[in-house]
Amino acid sequence: MGSSNTVKLDMEQLFKDFDINKSGAIDSLEIAQYMKLHYPQYPVQIISLLISLVDKNHNNLIDKEEFKQFYKIVQASISELEIKQIIYAAVSHATGSTLISCEKVSQVLNCLEVIDPPSQFTQQSYNKDEFINEISKYM
């Protein structure tokens, strides 16, 4: 039972570390600053994607509950070395599936600000290699 409390306290402290302005929510600038300092190997361009994956109320702020999922995604994807693999790891962890839907592929491309993403995809879902191949067309 002590271990669970330790994890809760650690997440509370980590949230406070991210929340630089102490507003009770974390914005993309706070996330970018923290990630650049503590995870320099993590691509900055992925931050908006991560926010969109966990921001359930679509206010572009991460609250404490959303932060738990955000940080789990960061931890799950941080070991990857190439940006496209990081994106796949982040999306698959966020969705809880190794298959990525065409809707999530579209979300990824929008977050990465791809100009003229396809209006239709050739598949309903993509495994890791297919996903990486698909987003490679636009990155």
pLDDT in tens, 27-86: 988 988 888 888 887 777 788 888 888 888 888 889 999 999 888 888 888 777 788 888
Domain membership of residue 25 as a residue range: 2-136
pTM here? 0.71
- Whole-angstrom distance, CA of residue 4 vs CA of residue 11: 11
CATH code, domain carrying 89: 1.10.238.10
| Number of domains comprising the chain | 1
104: nearest Cα among 67, 50, 60? 50
